Amino acid sequence: MKAQLRRGACPSLAAPMLSGDGWLVRFGPEVGLSATQLGKIADMAARYGNGIIEITSRGSLQIRGLTASSAPDLAAGLADLGIKDRSGTSVVTGPLAGYDTTEIVDPRPLAGAIRDRIAQLNIFHRLGPKVSVTVDGGGALPLDEIVADVRLHAFKDGAQILWRLRIGGDAAGARALGNGNAQHAVAATIAVLDCVARKGIDARARDLDDRDLATIAAALNRSDVSIPTRSANPVGLFPIRGGMFARGYGLAFGQATSDAIGELAAAAGTHEFRLAPNRGLLALNLAREEEKILTAHANRLGFITESGDPRLAVITCAGAPACASAHLMTKALAEDIVSTRRDLLDGSFRLHVSGCAKRCAQPSGPNVTVVGHEANCEIVAENVALAENICAILLSRGRAHLSAPPG
């Protein structure tokens, strides 16, 4: 087994990462998963790992608690199921792309054209492992909170469909370069990636300056049409093409057991699943009656089924004991706050619980973070005027969940 070799690399099937609870793999299936495939993944997570399955904020799947010898077995098992990890530079479309009745345009052809050009020009080998592109067709589940090097977002200009190109960051923080049609969007995206590659393997699009980007921006239209930034809540009912529905469920604090995932997959029969950003799992092509039955199963199994569930407002990293760097039992603290003080979660901010100062799971938008340190907790508020009494409650609850409480 090859552990992570490239600087800044993410854990993958080929290069798992050692964590506090064993080896961890992360992968994003190229397409959806059949219910059978999802059920078999759940079996393998129990057989080869510790039975904990996670869906990340970017909509990737993580399997925890593997061993040095079981991680390759898992990778082989997934290959036998025909599950391919997204390879090369990640070009991401939303989980309902091509299905969503509310999207402006199906973003998959544009994403495919970008992937093809990346492959033809062999740029991938010159780019860092985290360099990514989002292609958002403007549907119900926006990609606005996903950080990317190049962001393309569809909008309508009269009868014309155009793409806004922004670089570096999430939608709120990225820098607008200009607008163009699909051909312009492909050419400009490839030009930005090539520019990043010329700066070296550790470079990201945020490192590019005006001089680097002048020629690319000059080829785009500068008209400034407003595209509001939206948050993606994967939990709920989404009408899709053909008069059917997709139903999204949330994993509380990003985790579910292999038993729960396996049972949900079994209840879904022959339906397809997609992983969704913000820790969601979508079942596709359901008739209304099927959706009601599946949602009743999801409820019983502990998945989040209501879009207003307070657990959706709490973001945690792995925390103790799963992460060896953690000083805080993040999941336990999150459970504690939701069950005893859900009044604090009024929807005006996200509560982020971080096991250490690294803040791996830092959400965008207004948020309050409880950070675990060796002998205490710290509260950090970003774009939130936090009342002193709430700060005191969070500190006191946080201290109760330190992994090594002060003696």
Please give the residue ranges that form the binding site for ligand SF4 (CB under 6 A): 317-319, 323, 325-326, 354-356, 358-360
Using DSSP's 3-state secondary structure scheme, residue 403 falls into: coil
Q: Smallest gap, in angstroms, from Cβ of residue 188 to ligand SF4? A: 34
Rounded to a whole number of angstroms, the minimum distance from the CB of residue 147 to ligand SF4 is: 16
Give the residue with the Cβ less far from ligand SF4, 18 or 81. 18
Least Å from the CB of residue 9 to ligand SF4: 15
**How far apart, in whole angstroms, are the C-alpha atoms of residue 354 and residue 364?**
14
Q: How far is the CB of 319 from ligand SF4 (least distance, A)?
A: 6
CA 234/CA 247 separation, integer angstroms: 8
User: Could you tell me if 316 and 369 are in contact, meaning their C-beta atoms sit under 8 angstroms apart?
Assistant: no
Cβ proximity to ligand SF4, 111 vs 371, nearer residue: 371
Smallest distance, ligand SF4 to C-beta of residue 343, A: 26
Per DSSP, which regions of 85-218 are E strands? Answer: 90-92, 132-136, 148-157, 160-169, 175-180
Of the two residues 53 and 152, which places its CB atom closer to ligand SF4 in the complex? 53
Smallest gap from residue 327 Cβ to ligand SF4 (A): 7
Q: What is the spatial distance between Cα 128 and Cα 187, in angstroms, rounded to a whole number?
A: 20
Q: Is the CB of 54 or the CB of 145 nearer to ligand SF4?
A: 54
User: What Rg do the C-alpha atoms of the chain give, in angstroms?
Assistant: 21
Residue closer to ligand SF4, measured from CB, 179 or 369: 369
Exposure of 313 in the CB half-sphere (CA atoms within 13 A): 19
Phi, psi dihedrals of residue 46, rounded to the nearest 5°: -80, -40
Which of 165, 323 has the CB closer to ligand SF4? 323
The distance of closest approach from Cβ of residue 329 to ligand SF4 in the complex, given in angstroms and rounded to an integer, is 10
Contact 379, 370 (CB under 8 A): yes
Q: Are strands 350-354 and 314-316 parallel, antiparallel or unpaired?
A: parallel
- Phi then psi for residue 154, to 5 deg, are -75, 145
In the complex with ligand SF4, which residue's Cβ is closer, 357 or 387?
A: 357
